[in-house]
Structure 1
Amino acid sequence: MGDAVNTCDVLVIGAGPGGGNAALQSAKNGLSTILIEDHPAIGTPVHFRRVYL
C-alpha cells in the first residue's frame, strides 16, 4: 500500500473560532488550505480556563 501525500499552502489544526477564521481567510486569499479538526462539532473552543478571584 502506498503512502498518500497531500500538499497545501496552509495547514490549520483546530476548527475553533481562530482556526476556522484562519482557514477561511487563507482560502479566500487563494491559498490551498487544509483544516483538521478532531471533534465532530466545529466553531467552539475546546479548552477553557477558569479563573476565580
Structure 2
Amino acid sequence: GNKYTSIWIYMVAPILGAILGALSYNMIRLTDKPVREITQTGSFLKSQGPSRS
C-alpha cells in the first residue's frame, strides 16, 4: 500500500518557512530611522527610471 513516511516535510516546511520569513523581515526592518527618512532614501530609484540616457 501507500506509505506516507516523508509527508511531514511537506506539512512542516511551509509553516517553518513562513515563520522564518516573518522573523527575518522584522529583523531587516528594525531600524532607528523614521519612515519618512526611509522613503526619502528610496526615492533615488524613481529618479533613475527610463529617462536615463
TM-score (norm 1): 0.28
- Give the number of the structure whose residues are more often strand, by fraction: 1
Higher helix share: 2
Structure with bigger RCO (C-alpha 8 Å, 6+ apart): 1
TM-score normalized by structure 2?
0.28
